[in-house]
Chains A and B, each alone.
Chain A
Amino acid sequence: MAVAAVETRTTYKLDQSWLVRLFDNKPFLIAICLFPAAALLLVFLSYPLGLGVWLSFTDTRIGRPGYFIGLENFESLWYDRVFHTAVWNTLLYTSVATIGKFGLGLWLALLLNNNLPFKSLLRAIILVPWIVPTVLSAIAFWWIYDPQFSIISYVLVDVLGWRETYIDFLGQPWPARFSLIAANIWRGIPFVAISLLAGLQTISPSLYEAAMLDGANAWQRFKHVTFPMLMPILAVVLTFSVLFTFTDFQLVYAITRGGPVNSTHLMATLAFQRGIPGGQLGEGAAIAVAMIPFLVLATLFSYFGLARRKWQQGEDND
């Protein structure tokens, strides 16, 4: 058997236009890729933020240019009872709602991580509260919390007979606060549940099998495997959830408009109330700016929470 003759090679030269070569130029590529994002950030993020901060140091009103008045807006807020209530409400709203969202969200995620019948359908249904426009769900809650037509009152009084009178959900400060928190939890669960479910699915099943053989019961498997493995994503989701809840506006404004008697105002709704309907742009901006320290704190928390844990770090073998 003779070895076949070596085949002849034909080669073609790379012939690229100046445009192609330009796009191979790294500095050019970086500049052109960054430009749209940088422009967007500058125009739609930095400018409004800067303007907001500037307004908070002025006495601007709608239709009238303001003058720089230093910290006067903040001084008046310092003694403002309504503002104090708004801060406390915001803190209460954020902390209780976050705890609720995470408790229920984690529970849902763990449930959905099992092999349930109609799993994908269930997952889709879970997302509904998140997909529905906030104002729409706010209107639904309005009905649920209505003093006369509330379905909750109907069930408690007329069906089960546990109560004598209908509940005045939104007419009293504390019931109103907890009604809003419940609505916020309902709306926030999908985000938490779906994110944590994604986290749960990255945990290798063989870890659970190993733990099972090591002798761990269900609770120990959760405590020693699921929870620590979920921590990194939990920190991210927690941060986002806290930020969203802290700055929430739509639900509260649509359901109670801060009432009754300003008792459910959050900082965001109060800022809007004072700034736009009230016309005091400077004061509204000052309230909004007052949120910044809290948000920075939350971000710092996330910075440390997100910091890669030691066990996640590199493949270094030193």
Chain B
Amino acid sequence: MASVQIADVRKAYGSTQVIHGVDIDIDDGEFVILVGPSGCGKSTLLRMIAGLENISGGEIRIGPKVVNDVPPKERDIAMVFQNYALYPHMTVADNMAFSMKLRKAPKAEIEERVTRAAQILGLANLLERYPRQLSGGQRQRVAMGRAIVRDPQVFLFDEPLSNLDAKLRVQMRTEIKELHQRLKTTTVYVTHDQIEAMTMADKIVVMHDGIVEQMGAPLDLYDNPNNLFVAGFIGSPAMNMLKGKITAAGFEAVNPKGGASLVWPIGKAPAGSEGREAVYGVRPEHVRLDPNGIKAEVVVIEPTGSETQVVVRCGGQELTCVFRERITAQPGESIGISPDTSVTHLFDAASGKRL
């Protein structure tokens, strides 16, 4: 096991730079998730750690060693691919044993390791099957088994769950997390799904357009997003964002329809920010039903049983709210809402930075 240090790493294809100087420190045994929308460079970064892409600038260290020019096979890492990349002409056992066979490990040890990995992953009675004969979740497990057998310094996961159905994804999420707690191998995991990131990571790295937007513990990112991008990306349903101006009374939101503008309460405006153009952010789950609050018209109601997601319109803008209570109001009717001012966010309109 080893730490991974990524220092000012850049990647360019010809004159197009796709990763603009990324610094990430991954501690030994840590579970780090790179998350971001498609095209943000997270997979490229992972492939650079694996050695499948050249590093255009900067340095990647695995343990104490700079690996920029070390070929993938000598980096002692194992990777789980999005499409699993199982060898279709080998049985499950052979797939898992392949790397050990290449290393000419003694037969008995290969068998012992394969058996152990198969037990951990519940593949013991599938060892003689071919990948084609397995379901998606089983293939996923074989891909992980192949990584475990190696006992590498670092595990890399490239969107491993995106080909699974929703239910299996939740189950595999737990399994991967459990596996990590058991093996304590340093893990770098790439996903575009922020829920995966929130639920599994020790540390989340939010990437966007080739830079790191914010890095930190999941709940820290949720509570204190550094900028508009992270605020909008982390959390589901996404945070409501209203454009407007900070005034003495609160936050005066612009009414895009041209009607009267609404004033939203702010817990504590930063000093000297009055009159500033800003963006007001409130998470759907931080809006409460409040008969004395802001009057809003119900547009759509989506009950999930445990909670009710309601889209409301007020001040010419649509907002998503999530209530723990069940709602009797019908679309078209009016309800009163008020944001929990202790957890509202303000961002600078121009830079998008947190105020």
Closest approach, in angstroms, between the C-beta of A106 and any C-beta of chain B? Answer: 18
B87 at the A interface (CB under 8 A): yes
A213 B332 Cβ-Cβ under 8 A = no
- Which residue of the partner chain A has the closest CB to B147? A213
A207 partner residues in chain B, CB cutoff 8 A: 85, 87
Q: How far is the CA of A204 from the CA of B81 in the complex (A)?
A: 12
A164 at the B interface (CB under 8 A): no
User: Assuming the A-B contacts A1-B331, A209-B52, are A214 and B102 also in contact, with contact meaning beta carbons closer than 8 angstroms in the complex?
Assistant: yes
Q: How far is the CA of A317 from the CA of B125 in the complex (A)?
A: 12
B229 at the A interface (CB under 8 A): no
Which of B72, B88, B90, B297 is within 8 Å of A213, CB to CB? B72
A215 at the B interface (CB under 8 A): yes
Q: Mark A199-224, 1 if CB is under 8 A from B, else 0.
A: 00000101101111111110010001
List A residues 279-318 near B (Cβ within 8 Å): 309-317
User: Assuming the A-B contacts A2-B332, A311-B88, A314-B132, are A204 and B79 also in contact, with contact meaning beta carbons closer than 8 angstroms in the complex?
Assistant: no
A206 B132 Cβ-Cβ under 8 A = no
Q: How far is the CA of A217 from the CA of B102 in the complex (A)?
A: 9
B89 A309 Cβ-Cβ under 8 A = yes
A91 at the B interface (CB under 8 A): no
Closest approach, in angstroms, between the C-beta of B331 and any C-beta of chain A? Answer: 7
A228 partner residues in chain B, CB cutoff 8 A: 89
Q: How far is the CA of A311 from the CA of B73 in the complex (A)?
A: 26
Q: Mark A230-270, 1 if CB is under 8 A from B, else 0.
A: 01000000000000000000000000000000000000000
B133 at the A interface (CB under 8 A): yes
- Which residue of the partner chain B has the closest CB to A203? B88
Number of interface residues of B (CB under 8 A): 33
Closest approach, in angstroms, between the C-beta of B4 and any C-beta of chain A? Answer: 15
Q: How far is the CA of A214 from the CA of B134 in the complex (A)?
A: 22
Which of A215, A217, A312 is within 8 Å of B99, CB to CB? A215
User: Assuming the A-B contacts A210-B79, A311-B130, are A215 and B85 also in contact, with contact meaning beta carbons closer than 8 angstroms in the complex?
Assistant: no
A82 at the B interface (CB under 8 A): no
B88 partner residues in chain A, CB cutoff 8 A: 229, 311-312
A204 B132 Cβ-Cβ under 8 A = no
Q: How far is the CA of A213 from the CA of B331 in the complex (A)?
A: 56
B103 at the A interface (CB under 8 A): yes
B77 at the A interface (CB under 8 A): yes
B103 A215 Cβ-Cβ under 8 A = yes
Which of A204, A211, A224 is within 8 Å of B83, CB to CB? A204
Q: How far is the CA of A207 from the CA of B331 in the complex (A)?
A: 53
Which of B50, B85, B90, B103 is within 8 Å of A204, CB to CB? B85
- Which residue of the partner chain B has the closest CB to A209? B52
B90 partner residues in chain A, CB cutoff 8 A: 311
B130 A213 Cβ-Cβ under 8 A = no
B323 at the A interface (CB under 8 A): no
Q: How far is the CA of A3 from the CA of B72 in the complex (A)?
A: 61
User: Which size bracket describes the interface of A in this complex?
Assistant: 20 to 34
Q: How far is the CA of A311 from the CA of B87 in the complex (A)?
A: 10
B222 partner residues in chain A, CB cutoff 8 A: none
List A residues 1-29 near B (Cβ within 8 Å): 1-3
B79 partner residues in chain A, CB cutoff 8 A: 209-210, 213
List B residues 71-86 near A (Cβ within 8 Å): 71-73, 75, 77-79, 81, 83, 85-86
Q: How far is the CA of A315 from the CA of B89 in the complex (A)?
A: 14
A206 B83 Cβ-Cβ under 8 A = yes
- Which residue of the partner chain A has the closest CB to B90? A311
Most buried by B among A214, A217, A312: A214
Which of A3, A214, A217, A312 is within 8 Å of B98, CB to CB? A214
B71 partner residues in chain A, CB cutoff 8 A: 212
Q: How far is the CA of A311 from the CA of B52 in the complex (A)?
A: 28
B135 at the A interface (CB under 8 A): yes
Most buried by B among A206, A212, A213, A310: A213
Q: Mark B37-50, 1 if CB is under 8 A from A, else 0.
A: 00000000000001
Which of B89, B102, B131, B331 is within 8 Å of A215, CB to CB? B102
B89 partner residues in chain A, CB cutoff 8 A: 228-229, 231, 309, 311
A104 partner residues in chain B, CB cutoff 8 A: none
B99 A317 Cβ-Cβ under 8 A = no
Most buried by A among B72, B83, B131: B72
Q: How far is the CA of A206 from the CA of B86 in the complex (A)?
A: 9
Most buried by A among B52, B71, B90: B52
User: Assuming the A-B contacts A213-B50, A215-B99, A310-B130, are A224 and B73 also in contact, with contact meaning beta carbons closer than 8 angstroms in the complex?
Assistant: no
Q: How far is the CA of A214 from the CA of B148 in the complex (A)?
A: 12
Q: How far is the CA of A311 from the CA of B134 in the complex (A)?
A: 11
User: Assuming the A-B contacts A214-B102, A215-B103, are A313 and B83 also in contact, with contact meaning beta carbons closer than 8 angstroms in the complex?
Assistant: no
A225 B103 Cβ-Cβ under 8 A = no
Closest approach, in angstroms, between the C-beta of B315 and any C-beta of chain A? Answer: 17
Closest approach, in angstroms, between the C-beta of A127 and any C-beta of chain B? Answer: 30
Q: Could you name 28 residue pairs across A and B whose Cβ atoms are closer than 8 Å?
A: A204-B85, A206-B83, A207-B85, A209-B50, A209-B52, A210-B85, A210-B87, A210-B146, A212-B52, A212-B71, A213-B52, A213-B77, A213-B99, A214-B99, A214-B146, A214-B150, A215-B99, A216-B73, A216-B102, A217-B73, A224-B98, A225-B87, A231-B89, A311-B90, A311-B132, A313-B130, A313-B133, A314-B132
10 extra interface residue pairs, beta carbon distance < 8 Å, beyond A212-B51, A311-B132: A2-B332, A204-B83, A210-B81, A210-B86, A210-B87, A212-B52, A213-B72, A214-B99, A215-B99, A312-B132
The 10 A-B residue pairs with the shortest CB-CB distance in the complex, in nearest-first order: A1-B332, A214-B99, A210-B85, A206-B85, A215-B73, A311-B130, A228-B89, A311-B89, A215-B102, A212-B72
- Which residues from chain A sit less than 8 Å from chain B, CB to CB? 1-3, 204, 206-207, 209-217, 220, 224-225, 228-229, 231, 309-317
